[in-house]
Amino acid sequence: MTVNGETVREAVEARLSLADFLRDRLRLTATHLGCEMGACGACLVLLDGKPVHACLTLAAQADGEVVETLEGLNERGAIADLQAAFHDRNALQCGYCTPGMIITAHALLAAKRTPDRAEIRDALSGNYCRCTGYEAIVDAIEATAAQRIGEAAE
């Protein structure tokens, strides 16, 4: 598979999850594990550009596919504005949910340039945060969308 632009060749047990593969074999620990049952969104990664739960995806299912984690998005500068907006608005406390939140926000803004608050909340419905109350997270995503529209118009 390709992970964050690099070709990775490994033999894995059939039952190894993509999340454990990324975290334990490749040391890509921005992919967090919360519920390990597809409910919390902490483990989201991009598989061929679409968010998937790495806890429910087998590493073997990513054979030949393109995987991107938060580290990859960060390295290529794709989420710098989202990260700054989360930081500026205190849209995180413990930060455990934040990688998944950013992956969801990145995918949402790639699919729709100006989502309204209801659409942002709907997109985040699979991402659990125990700390923030969500308001600041929605603010950060809304502000990033507005900033990107402004930059595109310049």
The 8 Å CB, 24+ separation contacts for 51-54 are: 51/103, 51/104, 51/107, 52/18, 54/17, 54/18, 54/19, 54/22
Minimal distance in Å, beta carbon 22 to ligand FES?
12
Minimal distance in Å, beta carbon 64 to ligand FES?
23
Query: For ligand FES, which residue of 1, 28, 30, 42 counts as binding (CB under 6 A)?
Result: 42
Which residues on adjacent β-strands are paired with residue 51? 46
Query: For ligand FES, which residue of 130, 133, 135, 149 counts as binding (CB under 6 A)?
Result: 130
Determine if 34 is a binding residue for ligand FES (CB under 6 A).
yes
Q: Which two tokens stand for residue 63?
A: 């054979």
Question: Residue for token digits 């070709």?
Answer: 7
Minimal distance in Å, beta carbon 154 to ligand FES?
33
Determine if 124 is a binding residue for ligand FES (CB under 6 A).
no
Q: Which is nearer to ligand FES, 123 or 129 (CB)?
A: 129
Stretch of 6-14, 36-44, 71-79, 143-151 lying at the interface with ligand FES (CB under 6 A): 36-44
Site for ligand FES in 46-105 (CB under 6 A): 53, 55, 92-97
Which residues on adjacent β-strands are paired with residue 52? 45
CB 12 within 8 A of CB 83: no
Q: Which is nearer to ligand FES, 42 or 108 (CB)?
A: 42
- Strands of the sheet containing 2-3, edge to edge, are 6-7, 2-3, 66-68, 44-47, 50-53
Determine if 38 is a binding residue for ligand FES (CB under 6 A).
yes
Q: What residues contact 110, with CB distance under 8 A and at least 6 apart?
A: 49
- Chain residues binding ligand FES by CB under 6 A are 33-36, 38-43, 53, 55, 92-97, 129-132
